[in-house]
Structure 1
Amino acid sequence: MTTVVVPFGLSVQDEALEADVQAGLSAVEEGLLEATKSDVPFIAEAARHLVRAGGKRFRPLLVMLAAQFGDPHAPGIVPSAVVVELTHLATLYHDDVMDEAEVRRGVPSANARWDNSVAVLTGDFLFSKASRILADLGPEAVRIQSEAFERLVTGQILETIGPRDGRDPIEHYLDVISGKASSLTAVSGRFGALMSGADETVVDILTQYGERLGTAFQLADDILDIASDSHESGKTPGTDLREGVPTLPVLHLRSQVAKANGSASADDRRLCELLDGDLTDDGRHAEALELLRAHPALEQARKDTVRYAEEARATLAPLPDCSAKAALAGLCEAVVHRAG
């Protein structure tokens, strides 16, 4: 049987599945363009800025694969995939403002192209469009999305205020990711299964799968911020590092230095000094990036990524063996590969 490729570098051994996924994702693209229409040309231009920049469409892909455990052509599947992607896109507009990012998906961020106010309001516009589509999917879908949105905002607030009361920074960070990233991937798996009419047990399995995969996906992003070039990640390497956004490699570094109890190496002390200083300076930023790329903390973050991806794969065990299950397992492998 011919191997075919679907988005995110995922190969499957089923042409019928590939055709279903590709058709679904094409419909999602049309839905995104339809949802970002406006009678005001400037609003449409700003709203479509990141849509047209592309992206992995990771969450819609998860919706399409989860829908294979019921009726993959059920009417609510494509709209629910559009909802999760619009929500994700809206958060990117807001994140780039908070992080003062200049590049997103290989193009200037909305805040860099226009200004912060336009970026924030465009994100709000996308949230409103997602809500409008969601209203047609019924009260249960609205409840699911609202709970996920609460988690998403909670995660962002937790990131903003930082760990409190002597809490372990790594545990705090994983809570941040659970809200900011895993909430939407969990909903993606849930919507795909739910809208397809899959059994309640299957819906729960694919929700848990999406939760764990979302964490692995974000941790892989943390590694890419340090280890990749701009071609791989679609943004400037070390963006989070420059902006002082805590990521898992940096948190592991600080934890290891703290445990060294004063006996940290000269390189570790220098790296911490750089991280605590002004990384808007290109020279200091480049030095910090070089030292962190060679540090064992980066490998520890990779191990954590692999662990969450393996947990995601393990949740699939009760599902019947089929091409969709194999493709979902393949997504786990793709995330691990992305983390190097």
Structure 2
Amino acid sequence: MDPFIPIQTNQKSIVRIAFDILFLFIKLPLFAFLIIEIVIINDLIFRQIQRLEFHIVFHKFMRIIILLHNYISGRLLLLVLGYFKYKSLFHSSAPNFKHGNLQSYCFYCSRTSPIDVFVLITYFSPSFTHTSIQKDRVKCKIISYGKAILESFQISKCGFKRFTDGENIKDLMNQIRKTRTGPLIIFWEGGITNGYSLLKIDKAIINEIYNIYNLTQEQPQRSYYFGTNPQGILCLQHEDRMNLIGNNPLQMLINILTNSFCSLDMFFLKCRQFNFKDRFPEIYQGFVEDTIKRGISDQSWKEFRKMFAQQDA
């Protein structure tokens, strides 16, 4: 399945269309207010404070304040968008599985709509990144919440960027551990899809996962992570009747504002503490097909980016 084909929804009745228009005008000002509040508080206040040199105890205290603020604001935002119910935050088939402290983790996330970014802010108050792959080397930059939200409303402009002055994922993970600004979010597919089919992962990203795993098994890194692998795959599932993507930002905005009583399910797969280098493709495919109930596209974001470039020309 083409991961950029919008999900087909049933034709709406005149009554439903009238209710959608009413919901749109009621929700829009609330939505705008909450988005502006989240962006201003996080980008102009919290992020600036976190960049200063303070004792670790202060950063821990600030982290509690940030998590509390974003959870309250984020939950209000999700309620405005119709998300009244959600299932358990994490799922694992392993018995007695413990997730540990996810603060210093690197999450590899799929993205199907702006809802994904809103949910990540609500529950994790993370650091979002831009990713560049040049000559099979992965570089990342931390971006603001405002930029992460704006780009979540664009399909063809949220793929991998082209820059050389970024940092290794390992270095960014060290930064977020010291300043309590994690977890680190990597949208490793490179763009937005309809959620029915996940894009093929670039081999450079997979190699970077191996490198991080190997690093955490060395001293003195091992003492920070207690010998575990601080990485995991995080996927969100929306109710099927929601049209997840649109051809333009306005259509996407209308889609998320006119839905109501949507369900949300979060799935987390921790990259376990063993040498998974040879087994990772098998583990990932099993997670996608068995747990997420999705397929994996034969093409990567790089191939689709060429298609978008031709359309814009």
TM above 0.5: no
Compare the two structures and name the one with the higher strand fraction: 2
Give TM-score scaled by structure 1 length: 0.26
Structure with the largest fraction of helix: 1
Q: TM-score, normalised by structure 2?
A: 0.28
